[in-house]
Amino acid sequence: MQVYEFEGFPNSARVRIALAEKGLSDKVEFVSVDVTKGEHKKPEFLAKNPAATVPVLELDDGTTIAECSAITEYLDHLDGEPTLTGRTPKERAVVHMMQRWAEAGLLDAVATYFHHATPGLGPDIKGYQCAEWGNHQKERAVAGMRYLDGILSKQPYLAGEDFSVADITAYAGLRFAAAAKVDVPADCANLTAWNERVAARPSIAG
């Protein structure tokens, strides 16, 4: 398998963490796609993913899988344990729900703020910008942090008792927020403690 990525980007980090959690990192060849130089828009990459986004997983038979949720779903089903997407129908539904909430309410909101209300990746990459929309999404990201803090006041992880892809997505979102200077509210003690615990996991700290 090959993973086309730009290391350090939040979505690339999500796939790397999932691979490490599943013990699959040594089964994958990582191929760098330098987004800052526009390599994601070259014809050879667009043939793999017309959406021009990283990461992309390419299987040995040539199948390409884009979108982090699809990639992690595939990786999670290559081996039984640990399970990152849930075991029972209820668990899977809750994990999927919380993963989507962490993605839309935190990670994507921070990304929109970064691309619209800051210099982003520079004038050659950023394209159209709307600062008003970007700053609105910054507020949404902070509201998302407060929502996740409330969830974590009741349980150790976002989907319940077990670490899941929802936690991976939210962790990547917080890391991106820190880089974009979107601070976690001081009263979000549960989210802050969770972030520290997740950062210490071998799949991340190692």
Question: pLDDT band at 124, cuts 50/70/90?
Answer: low
CB of 66 closer than 8 Å to CB of 32: no
Residues 188 and 96 both lie in one domain: yes
What's the rounded mean pLDDT across residues 145-151? 98
Q: Confirm whether 84 is domain-assigned.
A: no
Answer yes or no: do 55 and 99 share one domain. Answer: no
In which band, very low, low, confident or very high, does the pLDDT at 129 lie, cut at 50, 70 and 90?
Answer: confident
Q: Which domain holds residue 14?
A: 2-76
In a domain, 129, yes or no: yes
Residue 83 is assigned to a structural domain of this protein: no
The last residue of one of the domains, among 46, 76, 106, is: 76
Contacts of 36 (CB under 8 A, 6+ apart): 6, 121, 122, 125
Query: Tell me, what CATH number does 58's domain have?
Result: 3.40.30.10
Same domain for 93 and 72, yes or no, is no
Indicate which CATH number applies to the domain containing 173: 1.20.1050.10
Check whether residue 114 and residue 48 sit in a common domain.
Answer: no
pLDDT tens profile 16-73: 999 999 999 999 999 999 988 889 999 999 999 999 999 999 999 999 999 999 999 9
- 199 and 111 share a domain? yes
Same domain membership, residue 176 and residue 128: yes
- Sign of the alpha-carbon torsion through 3, 56, 102, 73: negative
Same domain, 102 and 148: yes
66 and 113 inside one domain: no
The set of residues, in sequence order, having a beta carbon less than 8 Å from that of 143 and lying 6+ positions away, is 105
- Could you say which of 55, 76, 97 is where a domain stops? 76
Of 74-88, 101-115, 116-130, 192-206, minimum mean pLDDT range: 116-130
Q: Examine the domain organization and report whether 98 and 71 are in the same domain.
A: no
* 95 and 179 part of one domain: yes
Instruction: Please give the structure tokens belonging to residue 44.
Output: 């050879």
Quote the CA–CA distance of 104 and 110 in Å, as a whole number.
9
Cα gap 123→171, rounded to integer Å = 28
Query: What is the distance between the alpha carbons of residues 136 and 128, in angstroms, rounded to a whole number?
Result: 16
Long-range contacts of 123-132 (CB under 8 A, 24+ apart): 124/38, 125/35, 125/36, 125/38
Residue 71 within a domain: yes
Q: What is the pLDDT, as a whole number, of residue 2?
A: 98
Q: Which residues of 150-168 are buried (b: 16+ CB within 10 A; e: fewer)?
A: ebbeeeebbbbebbbbbbb
pTM for the full model? 0.94
Count of structural domains within the chain: 2
Whether residue 48 is found in the same domain as residue 150 = no
The answer to whether the beta carbons of residues 54 and 5 sit under 8 Å apart is yes
Going 56 to 78 to 20 to 202, the CA torsion angle's sign is positive
Residues 109 and 19 reside in one and the same domain: no
